[in-house]
C-alpha cells in the first residue's frame, strides 16, 4: 500500500532520527572515509615495478603479502588526479572534524563534505582496483639486468617469461619455478644437459632443501635462496597452468636452454 504521494505505508511507523543520531551517522561515516587519507598511502611506480613495496607476514596464510594500507600503482590510472584527490581529502579533514564536533551546519560544511566524499570515492576506487599493469615494465628490467650470478639470471629470465601468462602477477610463476627445482632435486626429472643438481640446489636455501619432500607437495616446502629474493610468495594457485614443463616421449623435461646465456 502507498499513500497518494507515493511513499509506502511502513514509513509511517519509522521515527525520524534525532539531530544527535544524524550527526552520529555523519561522524561514523567520516571516521571510515578519513582512513583513506590518514592510513593509506600511494604506491610509487618504482615500488610496483621493482617489487620493493612494503610487505607484512600474514599468519593465517603463512606468507608475506602486500601491505593492506597500500594503494597499488597502476599505469592506467590518472596519477595526477589521484594525487590531487588524496591531498585535497587530507586537507579537508580538520575543518570537517571541527564542524562535526560543533554540530555546525553551514553552506561551507556542505561544500567541504561533498568534496571530501568525492575525493574518498576517487581514492577508494584506486584502492579496490584489481591487479596491476606493470608486468611489461618488470620484464624489461629483468631483461636488462646484468647479473654475475648465473642462477639469478636464470630465475629472472623464466620469471619474466611466465609472469605474463598469469593474471595475478608473479606468485604463480614462482610456484612453477620452485616445482621444477623440487622435481630436479628429488630425482623426478633430470636437469637439462650441461646443468647439474648442485647448480639448481644453489637456487634454494639449505634449510628448505633439508626438509624437501618427495610426496608431490615439495614445491610448497622449498624456498628461494636469499640471493634470488627475500620476499618470494610460493603459495600454490590451483588454477595456474604448468607452462614451464613440457611433455615428451621420455616423460617430463625442461625446455632446452643454452648454458652460455646464464654466464
The per-residue pLDDT string of the chain (263 residues; one tens digit each, 9 = 90 and over) reads 455 666 666 666 777 888 899 999 999 999 999 988 988 887 777 676 656 666 666 666 566 666 677 777 776 667 788 889 999 999 999 999 999 999 998 999 999 999 999 999 988 888 777 555 444 544 444 444 444 456 776 777 777 767 665 554 567 777 777 888 888 888 888 877 667 777 777 777 655 555 554 444 444 456 666 555 433 333 333 333 333 343 333 343 444 444 334 33
Task: Tell me whether residue 232 is in a domain.
Answer: yes
Q: Do 83 and 143 belong together in one domain?
A: no
Dihedral sign from CA coordinates of 58, 62, 64, 66: negative
| Helical residues (DSSP H) of the chain, grouped into ranges | 19-38, 45-50, 79-102, 107-127, 135-144, 150-163, 171-185, 197-201, 206-210, 218-221
Q: Do 142 and 245 belong together in one domain?
A: yes
Residue 63's pLDDT is 60
Boundary of a domain, candidates 92, 127, 162: 127
Boundary of a domain, candidates 68, 99, 127: 127
Q: Do 71 and 89 belong together in one domain?
A: yes
Give the count of domains, the chain. 2
State pTM to two decimals: 0.45
Q: Do 200 and 216 belong together in one domain?
A: yes
Q: How far is residue 68 from each of residues 161, 231, 258, measured CA to CA in Å?
A: 28, 16, 41
Q: Do 104 and 192 belong together in one domain?
A: no
Q: Residues near 212 by Cβ (< 8 Å), separated by ≥ 6? A: 182, 185, 186, 218, 221, 222
Task: Tell me whether residue 10 is in a domain.
Answer: no
Residue 59's pLDDT is 66
> Using an 8 Å Cβ cutoff, are 53 and 66 in contact?
yes
Boundary of a domain, candidates 74, 108, 127: 127
Give the residue from 67, 228, 46 showing the smallest Cα distance to 137.
46
**Separation of alpha carbons 57 and 245, rounded Å:** 30
**Separation of alpha carbons 258 and 263, rounded Å:** 10
- Residue 220's domain spans which residues? 135-262
Q: Do 122 and 207 belong together in one domain?
A: no
Q: Do 80 and 101 belong together in one domain?
A: yes
Give the residue from 203, 206, 223, 117 showing the smallest Cα distance to 152.
203
Task: Tell me whether residue 148 is in a domain.
Answer: yes
Task: Tell me whether residue 161 is in a domain.
Answer: yes
Q: How far is residue 16 from each of residues 9, 28, 229, measured CA to CA in Å?
A: 15, 18, 59
**Separation of alpha carbons 242 and 186, rounded Å:** 18
Amino acid at each position: 500500500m502507498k499513500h497518494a504521494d507515493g511513499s509506502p505505508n511502513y514509513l509511517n511507523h519509522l521515527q525520524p532520527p534525532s539531530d544527535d543520531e544524524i550527526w552520529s551517522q555523519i561522524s561514523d561515516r567520516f571516521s571510515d572515509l578519513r582512513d583513506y587519507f590518514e592510513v593509506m598511502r600511494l604506491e610509487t611506480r618504482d615500488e610496483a615495478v621493482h617489487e620493493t613495496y612494503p610487505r607484512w607476514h600474514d599468519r593465517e596464510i603463512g606468507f608475506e603479502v602486500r601491505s593492506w594500507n597500500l594503494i597499488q600503482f597502476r599505469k592506467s590510472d590518472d596519477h595526477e588526479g589521484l594525487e590531487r584527490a588524496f591531498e585535497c581529502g587530507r586537507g579537508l579533514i580538520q575543518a570537517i572534524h571541527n564542524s562535526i564536533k560543533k554540530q555546525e551546519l553551514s553552506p561551507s560544511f556542505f561544500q567541504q563534505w561533498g568534496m571530501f566524499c568525492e575525493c574518498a570515492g576517487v581514492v577508494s576506487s584506486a584502492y579496490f582496483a584489481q591487479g596491476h599493469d606493470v608486468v611489461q615494465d618488470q620484464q624489461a628490467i629483468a631483461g636488462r639486468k646484468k647479473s654475475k650470478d648465473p642462477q639469478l639470471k636464470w630465475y629472472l629470465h623464466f620469471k619474466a617469461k611466465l609472469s605474463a601468462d598469469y593474471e595475478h602477477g608473479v606468485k604463480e610463476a614462482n610456484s612453477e619455478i620452485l616445482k621444477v627445482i623440487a622435481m630436479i632435486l628429488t630425482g623426478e626429472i633430470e636437469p637439462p644437459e650441461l646443468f647439474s643438481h648442485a647448480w639448481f640446489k644453489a637456487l634454494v636455501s639449505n634449510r628448505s632443501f633439508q626438509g624437501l619432500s618427495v610426496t608431490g607437495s615439495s614445491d610448497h616446502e622449498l624456498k628461494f635462496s636469499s640471493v634470488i629474493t627475500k620476499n618470494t610468495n610460493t603459495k600454490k594457485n590451483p588454477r595456474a597452468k604448468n607452462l614451464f614443463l613440457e611433455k615428451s616421449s621420455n616423460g617430463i623435461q625442461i625446455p632446452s636452454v643454452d648454458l652460455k646465456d646464464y654466464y
